[in-house]
Amino acid sequence: MNLKKLFFVLAFFSSKAFSIVVGNPSDPALYLDNLFASKISLKASYLYNNIYKQEYKNNLRLKATSDITIKIFASIITFNLFNRLDLYAILGKANYKFLDVDDALFFKDDGFAWGTGLKLILFKTDKIDFSFDAKYFSTKQKTNFFILENLVYTLNGSFRHHLEELQGSFAISYKTQFLIPYIGATFLYTLDTDFFPYSRIIPKPLVRILSRENTLAIFETADLTPKKYFGSVLGMSIINKQRKITLNLETRLIDQNAFAFVGTIRF
């Protein structure tokens, strides 16, 4: 086999890249009336999450940095207990794009995405809520082509990768009649053991051949870690007069540049 071009992608993804929406810390206690009883309720939400820039460094301790963008479209079903604890499931799709200094790796198709989590109010007054949120999020992606140096290369064989993420956050909110602003801190947790999945991306296979007409290229994959592990969140929820519908607007900074919209109906 004659290789006219040899190309190594020494850095790939880490699931730490894919922080998802934090949400309002007052969410578990926004409503008093519900469908089942005074202590149990359900709510359904639609999420749009857009991380439009986040920087990474590769795990080989080189100085090269890369950017990634990701979009998530998902439904969230939440089971509330005692107006203090939310247990929720996330089901939807995700797509993302990896940008290097001279090259870009595009993932063409949306991949199935899912997650689960909880939000617990730790401290509560008439106006102020302070809560902790923890979630697990995962998606599997595949692609059929790369774009390298503005040229399209076809993959000789399938290529998939599995994203896993563990995210936590603390946030505080101030409640008014119709607007509930909040601010908080986020962190991405990694536990690298044989008994617990840690935040990571697993590319399969590790080495792949690309082709463009008579030109061939080899690439290898490896993990990337974010340059910053902790971030901040700033958001606001708008609640209707009947206190059944909310629209949440959120932005996340420092560790990434991102925004999210969440529309919720309470039953």
Is the predicted pLDDT of residue 19 greater than 70, yes or no? no
pLDDT on residue 223: 66
Write down the pLDDT at residue 7: 30
pLDDT tens digits, one per residue of 29-85? 775 544 444 577 888 999 999 988 877 666 655 555 667 788 899 999 999 888 889
* pLDDT tens by residue, 178-201: 899 999 999 877 655 555 545 666
Nearest-angstrom CA–CA distance, 21 and 12? 23
**247 pLDDT higher than 70:** yes
Contacts 24+ apart (CB under 8 A), 88-91: 88/116, 88/117, 88/118, 88/119, 89/114, 89/115, 89/116, 90/20, 90/47, 90/114, 90/115, 90/116, 90/117, 90/135, 90/137
Domains and CATH numbers, the chain: 15-266 (2.40.128)
